[in-house]
Amino acid sequence: MSETSRIVLGDSRDIKNYPEGIALTITSPPYYCEKDYESDYSFQDYKDLLRSVLRNVSSKTLPGGKICINIADIAAFSKVSGKVEEYIGISRDIQDWMREEDCFLLARTIWHKDEPWVNSQHVSYHEKIPATYVRQLPNWEYVWTYYKTAPAREGLGPITNYLSKAEWRKLVSAVWQIRSVQANDDHPAKFPEELVRNLVRLYSVPGDLIFDPFMGSGATAVVDYKNRREFAGIERDPHFHELAHKNLEKVANSLEREFIPEERFKQNKLGFE
C-alpha cells in the first residue's frame, strides 16, 4: 500500500480528516433505517450529518472530479412521522445541497438487486397481514453521480484509452443488475464490490485518489487497490476501522490487481513501420 492510501479513525464531519485532491468519491451513507450505528441521532441530525460530510467532500474534490452517492429512499419513516410512510425527499435534499457546493448531477444509476421479500422485514406474507395492506418495497437503490465545477477533468485523454467498447456498452446502461452482499455477518450494510468497481472504471483512471467518508468494512478501498487506484477514507467505529484494514490485508498481494502496462508497451503506442 502506498503512503497516500490511508483510512482515518475519526469523524467525517471534521474537515481535518480529509485528504487533498480527491478525484472520485464512492460512498454509501447511512440510510436512517434503524441500524445500530445510526441510533444516536434524530432525523434532523441525520440530514445535518449528510450535508456536512458532502460539503467537506466537495471542498476537497478536484475540478471535474466525481462524487457517487449510493442511497435509497427511507422505507421506515414511521419513527419520524408516526405513520406507515416512505420518505423520498432525501435525494432531492442532497441535490439542493450539492448545487450549493458547485456540484451538479451527471448521471443516475439504478442498482437492481434482490427481490424485497428475500431480505426485508417490511414485506411479509402470512395470515396476520390484512387484505389490501400490501407494501411494495423497491428491489433497487440509486447511485447519484455529481461532478465538481466541470463535467470532465482536463488532461486525461479520451475514454478509449481506459475502457474497451464492450465494457463501455455494459456500464453506460443506467440499470445495473448486481446481487446485494449475501453475508452481512461482520458489517450490517456492506455493498458489493462489483458496484464499486463499475464506478471506479467509469469515473477514474489509474493512480487517482478515491475516497469514502463512510468506509465501513472497506469495500471501496479494496476495489480501489485492486484497480491500481489510491484510496483514502474515514470510519468512526473502531471495530469497523479494524475490519477495513483486515480486508485490505487480504488483498495486499492479490492476483486480482489489474495489470496496467507502461505507456510505451501499450499496443496503440507502438510504432510499426
Instruction: Express each pLDDT in 141-154 by its tens digit.
Output: 999 999 999 999 99
Q: Is the pLDDT of residue 271 over 50?
A: no
Per-residue pLDDT at 132: 87
Which residue did the predictor score with more confidence, 62 or 133? 62
Does residue 199 surpass a pLDDT of 60? yes
Distance in angstroms (rounded) separating the CA atoms of residues 159 and 167: 11
Q: Give the number of other Cβ atoms within 10 Å of residue 171's Cβ.
A: 17
3-state class (DSSP) for residue 171: helix
Measured CA to CA, the distance from residue 244 to residue 217 in angstroms comes to 5
Is 137 in contact with 122 (CB distance < 8 Å)? Answer: yes
Confidence check: pLDDT of 37 > 60:
no
* Averaged pLDDT of the chain: 85
Give the relative orientation of helices 90-100 and 43-59 as an angle to the nearest 10 degrees.
Answer: 40
Select from 122, 139, 50, 141 the least CA-distant residue to 84.
122
Residue where the block lists cell 421479500: 117
**Residue 119's pLDDT band (cuts 50, 70, 90):** low
Q: Which residue has the higher pLDDT, 69 or 87?
A: 69
pLDDT in tens, 53-67: 999 999 999 999 999
Q: Is the pLDDT of residue 26 over 70?
A: yes
Whether residue 269 has pLDDT greater than 60: no
Q: Of 14-23, 31-40, 66-75, 174-183, which has the strongest mean pLDDT? A: 14-23
DSSP 213-267: SS-TTSHHHHHHHHTT-EEEEEE--HHHHHHHHHHHHHTTT-TTSPP---GGGSG
Predicted TM-score (pTM) of the model is 0.86
